[in-house]
Structure 1
Amino acid sequence: MRPVLRAVHERAEHARTTQGRLRAVNLTTFIPPLALVGALLVAIDAETWGEALLLTPGVVTGLLVVERWTAGDTARFVLPCLIVTAAVWVLGVLVTDSRTASYGITIVGPYFISQLPRHRGAAALGLCAFIAAVGAARLLEAPGDVLGVLGQFVLLPTGVTAVAILLMFANQRFYRVIEQSREREAELAVYRERIRFASDLHDIQGHTLHVVKLKITLAEKLLHSDIGRVEEELREVRALVGDTITRTKELAYAQRRLNLSAELENAKNLFEAAGIRVRVNREADPDEKVNALFGQVLRETTTNILRHAQATRVRITLSGAGISIVNDGAGTAPLPRLGGLATLRERVGDSGGELTVEQRDGRFVTAAEFPSLRSTTPPFAAREDRR
């Protein structure tokens, strides 16, 4: 169904927009501080230009992986970057006595592990062991400084890597929850669209079938007394069925929009055909924003009155911000559940209005009102149409 496909497309567009915003947030959140910390570490630790040139690739590759991570495109980069940062760590320990050469691998390594399909725990232990082993190899160059080597080359970089791995796993879990939430939201949107489509289809065809039933019943009564009226009723039935087919097609292509004036005229004709007196009070023309909703309320209420009430009188009141339909013949017994009105209550509520349904003293009141429109619609002299 095209309405459902449209809802899916809109959700997909929304997801792409959200992903773009998340990437911008991640870029501004991670890249500047990581770049600043990396530059400070190189400036502090490097004593010569050669040492600076050795440490810089580790910082640059780490930033490259973070940038590609925000774009969701790291498959081609992460393994080469891991090799580069591992080489920088080895050379920094064994050649330049650099305590900060592990900076790049503490960024790239945890991310690489988080992308593995399995055995990530073993890979995390292996990475920490590699960093610790390379750091401990510094004892070959400085065997007398055991505590200094253990603290600065083994425990510190290994601990930072372990913390980074835990943070990466937590971050990955967070984004998985967000993705699941998006999927559930998309499924819910499709479900709501299906319910809306089914409700609209019920409004069109259920209303038409009930009217057809009334007109055929009337034609049967007049068959032997007024053949001209019978022919007229049958022509109206045919026109009504044709109109229903057209509106069903419009609904399938998401083009349907109810017109309140047409629904009002249709309701008056139906009530008259059923022998019900109807009075219409126009206090103001309804706002265009709610015209279609008021048409839906009037159509559903008309169908309910014809089906469930023994009404003799109906009063319809229109204002710029509301519509109310009052009928007698409601009786005292509780009415059956009116599913159409329950669906309309949700639609009106989603649009900022309120739909109330009340039964008292043999009367049934259905009213929809939008408080925010009360002050925006200019009043005029009320018009009354009696039938």
Structure 2
Amino acid sequence: MNARSLRITKATQGRLRRLNLATALPPLTLAAVVVVAVDAHTRWHVLVLVPGVVAALVAFERWTANDVGRVALPCVIVAAAVWPVGALVIDAPNAYWGVSSVASLVVPRLPRLRYTAAAALVGYVAVVGAARLLVDSGDVLVGYVLTPTVVSAVVMVLSFVGERFYDIVQELEMGKEREAELAVIRERVRFAGDLHDIQGHTLHVVKLKAVLAGKLVHRDPARAEEELREIHALVSDTIEQTRKLAYAQHRLNLSAELENAKNLFEAAGIRVRVTREGEVDARAGELLGQVLRETTTNILRHSEATRVRIVVSPSGITIGNDGFAGDSVPELRGLAALRQRLGDDGGTLTVTVGGGEFVTAAAFPTAAPR
């Protein structure tokens, strides 16, 4: 796993942690309070039941941080000890809640024998509940055996389903990362193909003409000089075409670049909104298309964006994304080169960070319609 993939995985875990803490921790805490309030009839009962519910809450907090393994053993031991004391000593039929909750968080993340451990947990709850018959000959089948066993089994099943959902979310995040990397690779392959088309044929012709000029230099100096002039013209033309390709001027069209950027972002799982407030002329479209292409590559390679907005006006383009976590604007060499090119043509390029958004804006006032 590369560094960027690791960052995305950690970001996903952080979002899931905040979601779990916000949605599940309050009702879990309420359930713990209800268990203690219903089963505790004296202060001694509270002292027995509280360690079990505290172990469950601690295990849940560590589970949301993807660190439940560090507290798994002590939490399981404490919660497991509360259930027999509650069932056999203080008449607390809900004392199993702590051990069932802790096990539901720990067991699905075991490296092996998870299903065996789940069955053992359900069996433990049932056996302890049945042991209540040793101290109470009344009707304890429902309160101490059936209800704790069924609830524990259901909780274990739901925990396995939830763990699988968690894995799927991470796999989707990794899939989006791979799509973004593939998009960048495809762009590089396209660039390499264009470069080969421009230089491959020219270099082959130059080679042949250089050999011919070498043979004619003594026999026909005038013809050799002509061949050398043609070589010079070919090389100059190739240099110009390569320069245009390097600055994305080679057959660049703003509308095509907008569609290409939209497809790349959507393939990477990034929501994109394109707003066109007007049309620009061909010259401004080439320059703004360069900015859009470079910014698209930067977002795919260097950010963790989930949303991108693109606004095209008659004289400029604005690209904003929410995937930048820093406070200062980084130095991006590609955009720095484009800033100089736009400046030479009377335009401006600015990069700003604010309001949780990284914004690249190119203005080309001289292209605005009169």
Q: 2:105 pairs with 102, 111, 120, which one?
A: 111
Provide the aligned length of Structure 1 versus Structure 2: 271
CA distance in 2, matches of 1:228, 1:71: 75
Alignment of 1:217-232 (within 5 A): 228-232=225-229
CA distance in 2, matches of 1:133, 1:294: 66
The letter for the 1-side match of 2:133 is: L
Retained in 1: the 8 A contact 2:12–2:170? no
Retained in 2: the 8 A contact 1:258–1:292? no
Alignment of 1:124-163 (within 5 A): 124-143=118-137, 145-146=138-139, 149-163=140-154
Alignment of 1:257-268 (within 5 A): 257-259=247-249
Shift in Å at residue 157 of structure 1? 1.0
Q: 1:286 pairs with 284, 287, 309, which one?
A: 284
CA distance in 1, matches of 2:70, 2:62: 10
Secondary structure of the 2:69 match is coil
Q: 2:59 pairs with 59, 65, 73, which one?
A: 65
CA distance in 1, matches of 2:44, 2:281: 86
Q: Deviations over 1:277-306 (max 9, x none)?
A: xxxxx95641443146799xxxxxxxxxxx
Secondary structure of the 2:110 match is coil
Retained in 2: the 8 A contact 1:285–1:320? no
- 1:209 has 2:206 as partner: no
RMSD: 4.0
CA distance in 1, matches of 2:94, 2:144: 9
The letter for the 1-side match of 2:116 is: A
Alignment of 1:74-85 (within 5 A): 74-85=68-79
CA distance in 2, matches of 1:69, 1:240: 63
Q: What runs of 5+ residues in structure 2 fail to find an aligned partner? A: 254-279, 295-313, 317-362
CA distance in 2, matches of 1:257, 1:228: 33
- 1:19 has 2:13 as partner: yes
Secondary structure of the 1:109 match is helix
CA distance in 1, matches of 2:190, 2:97: 60
Hey, what does 1:194 align to over in structure 2?
185
Shift in Å at residue 190 of structure 1? 3.0
- Summarize the Cα distance change of 1:137–1:261 in structure 2 as closer, same or farther, 3 Å threshold: closer
- Summarize the Cα distance change of 1:159–1:12 in structure 2 as closer, same or farther, 3 Å threshold: same
The letter for the 2-side match of 1:257 is: Y
Greater relative CO (CA pairs within 8 A, separation 6+)? 1
Q: 1:49 pairs with 43, 60, 69, which one?
A: 43
The letter for the 1-side match of 2:101 is: I
Q: 2:230 pairs with 220, 228, 233, which one?
A: 233
Retained in 1: the 8 A contact 2:36–2:46? yes
Q: Deviations over 1:157-210 (max 9, x none)?
A: 111100010001111221222233333333333333222211111112321224
TM-score (ref. length: structure 2): 0.62
CA distance in 1, matches of 2:23, 2:63: 13
Retained in 2: the 8 A contact 1:259–1:291? yes
Secondary structure of the 1:101 match is coil
Retained in 2: the 8 A contact 1:284–1:320? no
CA distance in 1, matches of 2:4, 2:288: 22
Percent sequence identity is 34
Shift in Å at residue 212 of structure 1? 4.6
- Summarize the Cα distance change of 1:82–1:120 in structure 2 as closer, same or farther, 3 Å threshold: same
Hey, what does 1:350 align to over in structure 2?
none
Higher deviation after alignment, 233-242 or 132-141: 233-242
Secondary structure of the 1:47 match is coil
Shift in Å at residue 235 of structure 1? 2.7
CA distance in 1, matches of 2:143, 2:63: 29
Q: What runs of 5+ residues in structure 1 fail to find an aligned partner? A: 264-281, 296-318, 322-372, 381-387
- Summarize the Cα distance change of 1:161–1:262 in structure 2 as closer, same or farther, 3 Å threshold: closer
Q: Deviations over 1:303-328 (max 9, x none)?
A: xxxxxxxxxxxxxxxx979xxxxxxx
Shift in Å at residue 137 of structure 1? 1.5
- Is the radius of gyration larger for structure 1 or structure 2? 1
CA distance in 2, matches of 1:285, 1:188: 32
Retained in 2: the 8 A contact 1:65–1:74? yes
- Summarize the Cα distance change of 1:24–1:217 in structure 2 as closer, same or farther, 3 Å threshold: same
